[in-house]
Structure 1
């Protein structure tokens, strides 16, 4: 992944766009008389002084950023105006290490700019800055303006004004009505949260997420469930630190940053509004432990899906993945693995075979006390299935030959579609393993579904392993465009329709067939993608059998959400003899070996 330190561009006289960031200057630079910070920030998301030179803007330094490509400092006017919509803080972009300290009273002259993290094509809001500054330190050791407390009472329940997909930039801020307006009215100011519960574990970039609304859609693990496009979680806030990375806490979901966490409120492309802490609360352990599901009984077939996140032979996570499969998942009879890379990982030399990768995992499972799984897969065409360049990720079936058998039928290849026929009056695949409709444009630069026929206690079970197109490129929840566009779902809708069509072909040949479609669907259980998979009753997402506070497999920006699903045919659902478990072993923990939690379905065929 690229660094999360976003590039800062100097102010330009015309709008500028690059792949990493944009600085937008409206019109040609003009000169403005001495103004106050709240004048610069104004009552909308875009400064009325954008593109203008301002002189002798005064304030107290509240935070200094000396690292990354966005060096500078925040300053705040200690004499606020009476308008709650106007922020009293602003970021001064110096490009090099600032020569100021917290508590300095400064006078700044420079150009007001609107910087768009991620570039204008990202749809992100802009951050008001003073760039190319001339800074004068007037005095030092001054009291820092008191931090504004952000809490459950101050953050409105409504998330954002709606603009029919248009920009909200020009709308007057209503911080008493909308959460995003409230945060925007504090942009650049010194803010604080108290005893904030962690809802997004510490990541490799020394960031975490908290909520100031612990009662807002709480998950069973202490997080915040994302259950609807129309009910956003307004209490979420990203936390970074102005201190040393080594001093940042290793937090899990459900922990608490006890006491006060305080610092300037920033905005970035990787999470929107972010409290950049000069003072961090003390980590209080919430006691969250990795979950364990029960093993299947003799009469139950256990089927799991597990995204192992770009696993290749050079990784050091094989033993940990094996322990998760054996000890936390109960050694399921069938495991659909997503993101198995080829035998030399990201090396782009035409290698597509994954035998070394899979065998290394199987050996690790045996060493952990599990069964010696057998496996089936279909190698992709080189560089045709997306994912990390050179990695050639694909789905793989592991199965325990002591419990279940695989029906091999003229194994397919990367470009040959498996079909449905009848054998002795029952549905059968023409290729097992085989790929589902691989020439369909729905799968362009994306993983093709892997289908296989299994037999458990004399009953055939069809399993379709999926890894749908990612959400990459969608506008963020804090986008200037509301509601944000989800352009990536267009391809997933086509993919869902293709899988649904294939399942219907099986059910047309055998009405009571046991069919399971599972994997990293990269979309929510309430999404149109899920509805298209379920169309005409062909499938049903079994995650909906769980209580709402347990429905999640992934945590993104403090939202616990469903991306991984197991969908079942009517015969399995009507049978009623099934249990479902989202086994939370990764997504809520700072030491995760994958960003996905595995899912397990147990049923009696």
Structure 2
């Protein structure tokens, strides 16, 4: 028998070959782990517990402890519990997964989870190996059943898809789901909406954690050779310890480094185009020349943003660009046009020498001087319903192409919600306002159609409404066609990811006459699938914004 003394913890090691359990391992005075998990009267008492180490997360860079699971021959149901043991050094390999131990410590609770802490003695008694993991099957609508499994070794044999990477750099966690990507229910209508109903989405998902809860982990886990982990990538299966923390069920893998992701959603190539005109819309996520406002905080950050936006424009290779979320100052559009001309074809824009509306951000239309001719405009709808006015123009593409009335829009966001009135009733707050904006937009464009004599109308931009929501339906009822819904398969209808649910807020809506001229509609998925921390951190267009550009190619 060997003795170790580590920071006040006495470790007794009864050596035995792997697969054997020593008969002289202490058996008297034990409290079953199941009882520790269910009997609140034990809180604060000194206890002696016996089980198999299922996961070693010792060390300051991890959870500072390990998980202990009751033996399968126990009379009580199998149960697992966390042992908080900051005095143990992970490098000494005193605690090894698959080893049977007896722990002396104090029963307690931390962040709503039962645990053993203040460990005074560890007795290592044998090495029976890891217990068979309990198989979780998703979707699971009755998560309360998992209470009995909390702290146990579990496995998910189903393939899992990355649905959320927002917290990857902040907390080292990824959102996963079975049966592919999660979509916002209101992204669709009819049966497609039912397939992504909120409760079904919740039942399909779980969080992959990284064996600690510290902020800003280094290195950031789960990245691929490109330094990213895209939404849509897959994990063939997962084995680890099930726990509940910070309001969500999550699994800590046995070894985060060993997880083998499949890059099933690789970074897309440049969108190829045909011989016809191309129009694109892009929410640039707060392009501000004024530092420290809503955009870049420093000159270097602004330089990085400008390089990224230039790379996006080069990749889009559009004849006309509809841009959203520019600082509402005339010099910003001038600056952007100059930068784009320095990297490729020259773009021009409406010479509006004052802010458009009263909001901090605005939209803009930029078009190539060599392929596009302005026939009339700008047309600006400044009615109060639009806190960010609509900007439109009548353009001819090529030498003798028919005129197209193009409007760039940015409807009111689903944020800054009121306590009463236009509250969230399933489509985000301010839905009534956005619906009125859609109705006003249809009225405005009808007048401009009469003025220009064109039947070809295109609405592009960020309407802050998913494809099945009231504002889109209002435009459809006014005679327009949602070309994203018409031309793209359901799994491709996204330009934005929020709380692990994908959907499209960025739109391409046309009149029936223009719909017949369209060759292709697509999103260039360079942003929404990328982790937030990558913004302006890599060369090229990747994570240049939180929205994906939408592209329309015409015949």
TM-score by length of 1: 0.61
What's the C-alpha RMSD, in Å, of the aligned pairs?
4.6
Decide whether the 8 Å contact of 1:105 with 1:138 is kept in 2: yes
| 1:596 aligned partner | 547
| Structure whose CA Rg is larger | 2
Question: Shift of residue 192 of structure 1?
Answer: 3.9
Whether 1:229 aligns to 2:222 is no
Structure 2 residue corresponding to 1:333, chosen from 312, 315, 319: 319
Whether 1:290 aligns to 2:280 is no
Decide whether the 8 Å contact of 1:194 with 1:257 is kept in 2: no
| 1:199 aligned partner | 162
Question: Shift of residue 434 of structure 1?
Answer: 3.0
Question: Shift of residue 247 of structure 1?
Answer: 6.4
Decide whether the 8 Å contact of 1:37 with 1:57 is kept in 2: no
Report the 3-state secondary structure (helix = DSSP H, G, I; strand = E; otherwise coil) of the residue aligned with 1:503.
helix
Decide whether the 8 Å contact of 1:373 with 1:401 is kept in 2: yes
Decide whether the 8 Å contact of 2:388 with 2:411 is kept in 1: yes
Distance 1:524 1:323 in 2: 27
Distance 1:90 1:354 in 2: 61
Structure 1 residue corresponding to 2:395, chosen from 452, 455, 479: 455
Would the alpha carbon gap of residues 92 and 76 (structure 1) be closer, same or farther in structure 2, given more than 3 Å must change? closer
| 1:423 aligned partner | none
Whether 1:56 aligns to 2:28 is no
Distance 2:348 2:63 in 1: 52
Unpaired runs of 5+ residues, structure 1, are 1-32, 43-47, 116-127, 161-177, 218-224, 343-351, 386-391, 410-431, 475-484
Distance 2:472 2:45 in 1: 52
Would the alpha carbon gap of residues 215 and 584 (structure 1) be closer, same or farther in structure 2, given more than 3 Å must change? closer
Whether 1:190 aligns to 2:153 is yes
Distance 2:470 2:107 in 1: 48
Decide whether the 8 Å contact of 1:257 with 1:284 is kept in 2: yes
Would the alpha carbon gap of residues 195 and 140 (structure 1) be closer, same or farther in structure 2, given more than 3 Å must change? farther
Would the alpha carbon gap of residues 360 and 216 (structure 1) be closer, same or farther in structure 2, given more than 3 Å must change? closer
Whether 1:553 aligns to 2:495 is yes
Structure 1 residue corresponding to 2:67, chosen from 75, 78, 99: 75
Question: Shift of residue 288 of structure 1?
Answer: 2.0
Whether 1:434 aligns to 2:397 is no
Question: Shift of residue 82 of structure 1?
Answer: 10
Question: Shift of residue 404 of structure 1?
Answer: 2.9
Report the 3-state secondary structure (helix = DSSP H, G, I; strand = E; otherwise coil) of the residue aligned with 1:490.
coil
Question: Shift of residue 273 of structure 1?
Answer: 2.9
Distance 2:67 2:163 in 1: 29
Decide whether the 8 Å contact of 2:283 with 2:547 is kept in 1: yes
Would the alpha carbon gap of residues 339 and 288 (structure 1) be closer, same or farther in structure 2, given more than 3 Å must change? same
Distance 1:530 1:35 in 2: 61
| CA displacement 1:552-584 (0-9 Å, x = unmatched) | 2234455443232222234433x3545311222
| 2:16 aligned partner | none
| 1:466 aligned partner | 410
Would the alpha carbon gap of residues 516 and 497 (structure 1) be closer, same or farther in structure 2, given more than 3 Å must change? farther
Whether 1:397 aligns to 2:387 is no
Structure 2 residue corresponding to 1:245, chosen from 211, 218, 227: 218
TM-score by length of 2: 0.66
Would the alpha carbon gap of residues 507 and 75 (structure 1) be closer, same or farther in structure 2, given more than 3 Å must change? same
Structure 2 residue corresponding to 1:264, chosen from 230, 241, 252: 241
Distance 1:50 1:273 in 2: 26
Decide whether the 8 Å contact of 2:181 with 2:232 is kept in 1: no
| 1:568 aligned partner | 510
Structure 1 residue corresponding to 2:524, chosen from 583, 586, 590: 583
Decide whether the 8 Å contact of 1:464 with 1:518 is kept in 2: yes
Distance 1:408 1:74 in 2: 70
Question: Shift of residue 546 of structure 1?
Answer: 1.1
Would the alpha carbon gap of residues 64 and 515 (structure 1) be closer, same or farther in structure 2, given more than 3 Å must change? same
Question: Shift of residue 98 of structure 1?
Answer: 6.4
Question: Shift of residue 215 of structure 1?
Answer: 10
Whether 1:308 aligns to 2:308 is no
Question: Shift of residue 289 of structure 1?
Answer: 3.5
Would the alpha carbon gap of residues 137 and 554 (structure 1) be closer, same or farther in structure 2, given more than 3 Å must change? farther
| 1:413 aligned partner | none
Report the 3-state secondary structure (helix = DSSP H, G, I; strand = E; otherwise coil) of the residue aligned with 2:150.
coil
| 2:482 aligned partner | 540
Decide whether the 8 Å contact of 1:335 with 1:398 is kept in 2: yes
Would the alpha carbon gap of residues 216 and 339 (structure 1) be closer, same or farther in structure 2, given more than 3 Å must change? closer
Whether 1:517 aligns to 2:459 is yes
| Count of residue pairs brought into register by the alignment | 457
| 2:355 aligned partner | 379
| 1:125 aligned partner | none
Question: Shift of residue 599 of structure 1?
Answer: 0.7
| 2:174 aligned partner | 208
Distance 1:89 1:516 in 2: 59
Question: Shift of residue 74 of structure 1?
Answer: 5.6
Decide whether the 8 Å contact of 2:438 with 2:471 is kept in 1: no
Distance 1:304 1:461 in 2: 14
Question: Shift of residue 461 of structure 1?
Answer: 0.2
Report the 3-state secondary structure (helix = DSSP H, G, I; strand = E; otherwise coil) of the residue aligned with 1:332.
coil
Report the 3-state secondary structure (helix = DSSP H, G, I; strand = E; otherwise coil) of the residue aligned with 2:340.
helix
Would the alpha carbon gap of residues 67 and 514 (structure 1) be closer, same or farther in structure 2, given more than 3 Å must change? farther
| CA displacement 1:341-366 (0-9 Å, x = unmatched) | x4xxxxxxxxx52624x455434433
Decide whether the 8 Å contact of 2:381 with 2:444 is kept in 1: no
